[in-house]
Structure 1
Amino acid sequence: MGFDRERGATLSFPQVDRQRDEALSSWLARIARVHLLDLEHVEAEIGCRVCLVDHDPGEAVIRRVAQRTGVTPEEVREALHPLATLSPPLNGELDWGVCPQCLEADREAGGPLYIRTDWTHPLVTVCLSHSAPLVVPTADQWRELTGDTVRPSRQDLLLAQVDCEPLDALIRAAQLVAGQTVEGVSARQLEQEIADLTDALGVQMTRSMGQGGLLTLFEQPRRGRHIRASSLDLPDQLLTLLGPADRLLFVRAALALRWPSDGYAQERAVLGDWFSRVVHMAVPSARRRVIGDQALDPLVLVAMALPPRPFHQLRRRVTTWSKDLHQRWMVAEQLSALAGLM
């Protein structure tokens, strides 16, 4: 059957055409379904886990995919995001978020449901076509995408609550990563800043603030959700250890930290009362008036909630941040000191 031939196109018949904007992992999953193979067999053929092929797979894997599918290496590269991340998930799961409206359009057009290449970058948490947040596939969507009856590890449909999300920040990040003009920061710089902020959100908050990871401070008022802490120290690249739903949740929260709304209008509407209660609980009464509305910057809440050791660990990373975020951190640091929390 040619399985051992160096250039055997073992995944080329029956032919499964890749959709114009389809991600590599999605195409391989559809090939597996049409060929009545499981993903493990496809992985053995291409020499790489399917969950990793969207994340900078390397030239050797690209050539192997091209050989096995009967297409050119250039066609394989077209399926990869131009900023394929160097931090793939390590838990072995397909890291897919989907736009339900796009999938419904696929269904209405009579074509296959598929994952867009634009969705594969971890900082893309919104569909630019519909200005709608990406969500974890439902069981039915998962079955149509992969042919697998096993649901993803965690379904978190509450992620679809757009009114509680900083949609302008999500769109701005997606535009930047898609190569559109966004002022102030490069896509690579943004990747690092989001990774640092995500690491901070996973830290066990200081006892004067409460229990759980720092992300709890943002998820509790919006969805009544408690987030378990991942570490007492500042972790390194927490995103690589998270499952798809958690990864989406943390990235979206980090984007809200990176780009708050103008005048903190959305933060005031969604989190204002909560911020006031936190400040009342953590800041001596004589100092609250000085802090005032500055505490509505969510980065201030992070600085206040970090215990001393992870606070200083994050402080060392801040030196590499872009100018605007660095300036916000300096204000957050000063207000944290004023609150007596440093």
Structure 2
Amino acid sequence: MRALVFEAYAGPLEVHDVWDPAPAPDGVVVRVEATGVCRSDWHAWQGHDPDVRLPHVPGHELAGTVAAVGRDVRRWREGDRVTVPFVCACGRCALCAAGEHQVCPHQTQPGFTHWGSFAELVALDAADVNLVRLPDGLPSATAASLGCRFATAYRAVVQVGRVRPGEWVAVHGCGGVGLSAVQVAVAAGARVVAVDVSPGALELARSFGAEVGVDARAVGAVGGTADAVVEATRGGAAVSLDALGSPGTCEASVRSLRPRGRHVQVGLLPPGAGRAVVPMERVIALELEVLGSHGMAAHAYDGMLGLVAAGRLRPDLLVTRELALADAAQALRDVGRQPGIAVVTAF
């Protein structure tokens, strides 16, 4: 099969012919129809993830058709159209039994623990636990974002952030996750302040229903961003998300909250980028909650897919570019430079 491969961290990204994967006894191989270009893939390429071993094929945000089925798989057949959470749970441990697949200690992740979906084929583990059937008529380019960015945002806003109608939500970083979070929060009846350094990203956020856009470059450092959010919301946000994952956006998110507010850390914070300074004195004085959110289990997708089918959520509007596999290398280098989501749809 053809796949995008790197053999050194931050090194060349090249399309090569490599061996086709085979399904594990409890897994499947999916023929990839679409795969998103995500900031997490950039982190893998840069060497920020200790699970990545060289040479490597990135890619974890995918939709496609089951091409081969392991002997122990019961629920899936060749030809089924599926997506998958980026966290593939084992389905056997105590956390999986409790339904908390997204923090399974034995998890695998395509594009991180093994070769991913910047390829014609990708192997996925524990298929009966992890695969999600795609609704008829949902385009693959749209469905690809459901495995990571959109599903991650949905759980962060609705389940972890516990957003309520009428509350102010601040979204720091309007890339794929952040723009998804704007959509989800608006659909939940919240009022949204979007924060970014890109006028194009802020324009998209407003088109998705954000009432206020804060240009982080114009207001200056962390304190300026937080002050702008507090002023716009007349006292601070009830829920604030760091959807980018940087020390500055993490601190600004916490400082943007009103008393008893909820900070949700969604963007990755690799140690190589520096440790975030969380103002714990403020956390204590205002009784703030500091929460982490790490994807969403496959069994939790029905609610989100129902809103997509009803037209209340529009992940299709996030897809601003469709690419060929040969163009994925440049798209990975350019992550964060253009608003919206780039999706590889030609292999």
| Structure with higher strand content | 2
**Larger gyration radius, structure 1 or structure 2:** 1
| Structure with higher helix content | 1
TM-score normalised by L of structure 1: 0.26
Larger RCO of the pair (alpha carbons < 8 Å, separation 6+): 2
